[in-house]
Amino acid sequence: MKDKPVILVVDDQPQNIELLEAYLVPQGYEIVKAANGEEALGKLSGNQIDLILLDVMMPGMDGFEVTRRVRQDDKHRLLPIILVTILRETEDRVKGIEAGCDEFISYPVDKMELLARVGSLLKVKAYNELMSNYRKELESEVTRRTEELKHALENLQQEIIDRKRAEAALTKSEEKFRSIFENSVEGIFQTTPKGRFLSINQSFARLTGYSSPEELIECITDLGHQLYVNPEDCTQFMGLIEEHGIVEGYEVEYYRKDGSTIWVSINARCVRDEHGVLMYYEGTFEDIAKRKLAEQSLQQTMEKLRKSLAGTIQVVSMTVETRDPYTAGHQRKVSNLARTIAQEMGLSSDTVDTIRMAGIIHDIGKISVPTEILSKPGKITDIEMSLIKVHSQTGYDILKDVGLPYPIAEIVLQHHERLDGSGYPNGLKGNDILLEAQIISVADVVEAMASFRPYRPALGIEVALEEIEKNKGILYDEKVVEVCLKLFSEKGFKLE
């Protein structure tokens, strides 16, 4: 901010400038000088001028022309201009006013008059500038608020349009939902947390034997005991939906109006308010009676097939043992031990059963080995051993196309493979050997070493267990061996 007001003094006579400077400087004004109109306009553009004292009679551009040019400049159109002149005619003053001057002072200049008029015009200038700035700010604020109002109106108009569209869409959606609700082939329901129906559709009523939704809602006041055949199923359902917020495919048996029952599958969810408070349950259910009958029929068929398969496998096992009386019971004992190991390892029931069946027929390939070799007393030759080793491949070839569950044939093929690749028939290693086959192989070794053979006496269970413990992680799976050892040492298992 400037400390002093700046006055531009324009006169072609230096003595006049000196006189005005002598009057003004002691009063705290700063003086900028110009000797003609062109110089004055140059000084004006290069300085921050607060007032102009301007001589009229100058060579070239006179004071009237300078005044007109200043007023044509938007930046300086409010700048106070005092014409200081010897001209006293009325027409000269009119000409000055038309050009845009604010005051006239005649020579000789009276000091007090000069100071008074300068001070007055500077105050007017300050006021005008203040008002101009205020006007600009006001215009800017009006423009801003006008734009805000315009945008607000546009937004409001769009909101009204959007709301109408949403209302139309909601109405259409409600109509569609109502149509789905009323015409759905599935039962649709809403219930309170305490077990009362809020609403149901016609299909729900029809599937449960009621003539209308209203009749069912009026009659069923405690669905846990009136609708569920087993009330504990209702308790379990409520616990699941409260814990998870949703239940899918929950199968349960319902009473119908006439006392008969129907199997249904329920899909339901919790509906909560904006504060998370449970309001009601809603969901659907479908009649699965036909599916249940089909499942029961399939289960019965599977059970018959399982029994038939078990009988067939038993017959095959006995056939093998008939040709090799010295190994009578070997397959049964291996199957029993392998099954028990699998159970202790926590394998699935299907896997356990597969291992049991594979164990019963794991030596079926010995059908192809001459009886005199199987029953030969004394040491077996290398050629005879090579014939015996073929039984794993032969067993696989017999079983692979007879429709036994996977992987029974593969287990029979691999039950003489060893972790380090030293086994037969394919020299498999590590994880290339099925876990089921590794379980059978451990059970096979333990039973074979513990039992009598034509070519050697029984070595005993202790020697057999020492063999698998010594070679666990080398020939035999480490975990399978540990479980087997634990069965004999801690749980009293016996080969029977």
Which residue has 């096979």 as its token pair?
Answer: 444
| DSSP H or E segment with residue 189 | strand 187-191
Residues in contact with 435: Cβ distance below 8 Å, sequence separation at least 6, in sequence order = 477, 480
Q: Report d(CA 70, CA 74) in Å as an integer.
A: 8
- Helix (H/G/I), strand (E/B), else coil: 230: coil
**Cβ distance 20 to 111 under 8 Å?**
no
Query: Token pair for residue 414?
Result: 């691999």
Q: Report d(CA 231, CA 41) in Å as an integer.
A: 104
In 390-455, which ranges are continuous DSSP H helix? Answer: 391-399, 408-414, 435-450
Q: Report d(CA 279, CA 257) in Å as an integer.
A: 28
Q: Is the peptide bond before 405 cis (omega within 30 degrees of 0)?
A: no
Q: Report d(CA 16, CA 426) in Å as an integer.
A: 127
Residues in contact with 78: Cβ distance below 8 Å, sequence separation at least 6, in sequence order = 125, 128, 129, 132
Burial label for 35, CB within 10 Å (0-12, 13-18, 19+), is middle
**Cβ distance 261 to 229 under 8 Å?**
yes
- Pick from 255, 431, 443, 263: nearest CA to 358: 443
- Pick from 334, 446, 351: nearest CA to 408: 351
**Cβ distance 204 to 213 under 8 Å?**
yes
Question: How does DSSP classify residue 229?
Answer: S
Q: What is the structure's pLDDT at 423? A: 95
Which whole-number Å values give the CA distances from 447 to 242, 291, 354, 489, in the listed order? 54, 46, 19, 16
**DSSP, residue by residue, 373-405:** HHT--SPPPHHHHHHHHTHHHHHHHHHTTTTPP
**Cβ distance 54 to 84 under 8 Å?**
yes
pTM recorded for the entire structure = 0.45
For residue 203, which amino acid is it?
Answer: S
- Pick from 441, 437, 440, 443: nearest CA to 487: 443
Phi and psi (nearest 5°) for 227? -105, -40
- Pick from 426, 428, 433: nearest CA to 392: 426
Q: What is the structure's pLDDT at 25? A: 92
Q: Report d(CA 263, CA 258) in Å as an integer.
A: 15
- Pick from 464, 462, 429, 473: nearest CA to 444: 464
Query: Token pair for residue 112?
Result: 């007090």
Q: What is the structure's pLDDT at 320? A: 62
What angle is formed at CA 460 by the lines to CA 454 and CA 464, rounded to 5 degrees? 100
Query: Token pair for residue 436?
Result: 């089921």
Q: What is the structure's pLDDT at 1? A: 47
Q: What is the structure's pLDDT at 481? A: 96
Q: What is the structure's pLDDT at 404? A: 78
Q: What is the pLDDT along the chain (496 residues), one digit of tens a residue?
A: 457 899 999 999 999 999 999 999 998 899 999 999 999 999 888 788 989 999 999 988 999 999 999 999 888 888 899 999 888 888 888 898 898 898 899 888 888 988 888 888 888 776 666 666 777 777 787 788 878 878 877 887 888 777 777 776 666 655 555 555 555 668 888 888 887 888 888 888 888 889 888 888 888 888 888 889 998 988 888 888 888 889 888 888 889 989 898 888 888 898 888 888 888 888 887 888 777 777 777 677 656 655 655 556 665 666 666 666 655 578 889 999 999 999 999 999 999 999 999 998 888 888 878 777 776 777 778 888 888 888 899 989 988 887 778 899 999 999 999 999 999 999 999 999 999 999 999 999 999 888 876 666 778 899 999 999 999 999 999 999 999 999 999 999 998 7
Q: How many residues can be counted in the chain?
A: 496
* Strand order across the 51-55 sheet: 30-34, 6-10, 51-55, 81-85, 103-106
Pairing of strands 51-55, 30-34: unpaired
Q: Report d(CA 255, CA 233) in Å as an integer.
A: 13
Query: Token pair for residue 328?
Result: 């009578």
Which residue has 């007109």 as its token pair?
Answer: 68
**Cβ distance 486 to 467 under 8 Å?**
no
Residues in contact with 203: Cβ distance below 8 Å, sequence separation at least 6, in sequence order = 184, 185, 186, 187, 188
Residues in contact with 195: Cβ distance below 8 Å, sequence separation at least 6, in sequence order = 222, 223, 224, 234
